[in-house]
Amino acid sequence: MPGDRTLRLQHGNRIEALCVLGTHISADVYGAAPAGAVSFSVKHTEGVSVEVAHQGQEEVESAPSSGMQWPLDEGTVLRFSMSQASTEVNDNKVTVSFYAEGGQPINQAGVFLTGIGISLDVDADRDGVVEKNNPNKASWTWGPEGHGAILLVSCDKESPFTPTSDCDDERVFSKEDLLDMSQMVLRTEGPQRLPRGYEIVLYIPVSDADKVGVFHVQNPFFGQRYIHVLGQRKLYHTVQYTGGAAELDFFIEGLRFPDDTFSGLVSIHVSLLETLAEGIPHTPVFTDTVVFRVAPWIMTPNTLAPVNVFVCSMKDNYLFIKEIKNLVNKAGCELKACFGYINRGDRWMQEEMEFGYTHAPHKSFPVVLDSPRDGGLEQFPVKELLGPDFGYVIREPLFEAITSLDSFGNLEVSPPVTVAGKEYPLGRILIGSSFPTSAGRRMTRVVRDFLYAQQVQAPVELYSDWLSVGHVDEFVTFVPTSDTKRFRMLMASPAACYKLFREKQKEGQGEATMFKGYLGTDTKRVTINKVLSNDILAQQNQYVQRCIDWNRDVLKKELGLTEVDIIDLPALFKLDKQGKAVPYFPNMVTMIVLAKDLGIPKPFGPVMGGECCLERQTRSLLEPLGLCCRFLEEVASYHGRLGEVRCGTNVQRRPFAFKWWHVTP
């Protein structure tokens, strides 16, 4: 609560003042005394508590209304407080009498007091109830024992008639809008009117004007209207005082997610102002403050249950969509196809956007993060996804050039991990970048800053610039398991592929042929022997393996993993003319994960006994973990264009049950 307020008494005068319940008014008795005064007494009405504080003494004395005298020493202060609101203006008073030597009365100073209750309240303990005067409402702390109110960014669109999301609009079209907002209550108690010269004002700092919006219900009994009172160009709002015990409801929305210039914290204040006379500016006599944190955007890892799978319908991927539909049906989720009129020839659904969500104690809804890449799918997130309880956010650079690393195949998130005793209950974001010592491609700064600013999924930067496309999902992914670890990390591994091929060669299978039924490749027959005898390919894959191992070491350290948590899937790469790696055969790591059902790019590896040895090896690694492998033929529609199954699909998942505000960043 605010500290003492100073009031200047005047001998020979009676002044008027408002006393806010729960606060103290301090008055310097010595400074108000007339010449010759050596002692004083205090009388007061029952509604006022008075204490006497002497200079240099911590203890204060309670002043009864009997009129007992105290010596008048320099630094003596009276402290007034009231515990009940007044029913009328000036219905309480304090009278200070001053005495000369011998107890002769000299003069008096008086103050008429009006008690008023003012409390700006929010859900500071995060239980869905706006409690009165929570002592922690003006601060915000993380963790299970933390406190502080939470705001959602109104980034969805409740009305089909608005061109943009709700946070860009200063109107409320329906009560559904209000359900996204956090409630704030201004509770007042006092006489039917405020004394002349007083008013109550709600306001926000200039720095928060573009981060928070406040709405107030008007005419609650005659067709409710919700008026925008704070935010953007509106910095203050004069509150209509109604008298008696009253509660004024306000609804608060976040306008921006945290980013590099915004920590996520916003404050709202209410002040009681007074003016001495008309034409004289107001001064504050009491201020109450509440603090909110804007809820972050949160990514969902492969270990969370799938809800919807999105894929683009193209002229050449009919069979692929048919296979995906079978997989989706088996996994118990829904397939949503994006047709040509909206995808405009762009098949890379994963590259365009990343699904996440935002969450507060009163509500949670999905939010899609739109990548700055802007291919043919540019309009899809806004036109097809943004809507009631489905939010949208984008971060675009003003001057930086967009590269392949800005597509969201280059954005992953791990399952929950514990690293050296520190818990990351929402996992850690993984983004691909250039090698620390090189000036290669990186994800654009505005997107990286946005991801770091969310705080609850501390990002890890990996080295992916060695790849032609440059995405982290080309060499690492995660699958759920039912054991105590709950997941495994899968990594592409040329070393594992060469080891498998050498074993098959020793078994006399060196002439087993790759790429049978593979469309779009040249007609040369490729065998295990040819692959193993290709020294250039071997050198290139040694280089690739070193790049992957560098990332492997970073991931083990930053995710707290050991070798038993990692599964190596056979993979081969070749270098293009720019020295960047591309898959030699469809890359199985770039799979779609739908709970225990995996949609894996069909690798077209060496066939032995009617079965691809790469598929058999992958099954032997994953099926003992309770996973079901389905190999999808996607060469013509994806692999031939330097993409795989995951690149052409996107999965919306259920949110975490864990409450992000219990994180300790």
143: left (phi over 0), alpha (psi -120 to 50) or beta: left
Strand, helix or coil for residue 24: coil
From CA 358, how far away is CA 294, in angstroms rounded?
10
647 is catalytic: yes
Sheet (strand 429-433) strand order:
411-413, 429-433, 460-463
Q: What is the largest CA-CA distance in the chain?
A: 123
Which alpha helices (DSSP H) does 507-631 contain, by range? 528-533, 535-559, 613-622
In SS3 terms, 451-478 reads as HHHCCCCCCEEEECCCECCCCHHHCEEE
Catalytic residue among 167, 333, 612, 647: 647
Phi and psi at residue 652, to the nearest 5°: -90, 130
**Cβ pair 159, 178 in contact under 8 A:** no
Q: ∠ CA(593), CA(598), CA(600), 5° rounding? A: 105
Burial 169-185 (b: 16+ CB within 10 A, else e): beebeeeebbebbbbbb
* Gyration radius of the chain over CA positions: 34
From CA 101, how far away is CA 397, in angstroms rounded?
79
Q: CB-hemisphere CA count at 13 Å for 342?
A: 17
**Cβ pair 653, 593 in contact under 8 A:** no
Residues known to be catalytic: 647
